[in-house]
Amino acid sequence: MEKLTSSSDEHAQNRPFLRLALLHLAPRYDNVQHNLELLEALFLKAVELKADLIITPELAVSGYGFYKILGRDWIAADSQKIVVRFSQLARENNVALVLGCPVFDEKSDRFYNAAIFIDENGQVLGEHHKFNVLPGSEGWSSPGVEIKPVNWHDHKIGLLICADAYTDKITTELARQGADVLISPAAWCPGLHGPDGEWELRSKETGLCLFVCNRTGNDAQLNFDGSSSLIAVDGRRLLDYSDNEPAILTVDINPKTWLPVSERFNVVRV
């Protein structure tokens, strides 16, 4: 498969498919360096699998429950360095990336739970900040204020994070602005407050494919085992992976429709 290059949108249009890689992993909440090394290793493995766009779970850099252990001062000090690190990786390997990372915005003096879209040139094309911030576990972050698709070649990518799918506010607005597809990093575990058809409903309401990259692992704060990474289309789960074992999930999609041309995820255990 030819790689998608920055030099021509025409080249992207002529490709028979795009390959997405979802990193269904188990980040730690107490060790950012461990998570960065894990992410970099899996990123490079996804490159070997000829991915064009790599997607991480929500807060893949920090782990979900980091705040009680690590606080948030490190975000102001290090988050931009982390984005630069992965921007360089994207550029060096000619692969786009959606990175789940806490960030600090100097202009507003606020912290956000972010999904950052980095293109294959290493340029940050857009950054979605989670709107539906949960009190307590996500009290370190402020809710997002802007809903806007990311323009990548001829595609409009609608980003949301986990519980942003709980209501139709974000996805409806993204669709209204012409989004071609919805992509959601998530850390949404099964159980009493687990997902209950929200992703499927958002896909049906908008008519758009919704790609969810969730996480796994029992990290002593929350048990994410059994969490699903999936593709929802027209109100149903077309592809679904919910094994406890971390894995890289690749799928080939038609770039005109974003519908998968694969009948199942290609699963590479890690």
pLDDT confidence bin for 129, thresholds 50/70/90: very high
Q: Which two tokens stand for residue 34?
A: 């461990």
Give me the percent of the chain exceeding a pLDDT of 90. Answer: 89
Domains and CATH numbers, the chain: 17-269 (3.60.110.10)
Task: Compute the distance between CA of residue 144 and CA of residue 146 in angstroms, rounded to an integer.
Answer: 6
Q: Using one digit for the tens of pLDDT, what is the confidence trace for 146-174?
A: 999 999 999 999 999 999 999 999 999 99
Task: Compute the distance between CA of residue 169 and CA of residue 147 in angstroms, rounded to an integer.
Answer: 10
Q: Residue type at 54?
A: I
pLDDT confidence bin for 14, thresholds 50/70/90: low
Task: Compute the distance between CA of residue 187 and CA of residue 158 in angstroms, rounded to an integer.
Answer: 18
Q: Using one digit for the tens of pLDDT, what is the confidence trace for 103-112?
A: 999 999 999 9
Helices (H), 105-231: 169-176, 198-206
Q: Which two tokens stand for residue 198?
A: 């929200």
Q: For residue 53, what are the β-bridge partners?
A: 20, 96
Phi and psi of 205, rounded to 5°?
-65, -40
pTM (2 decimals)? 0.94
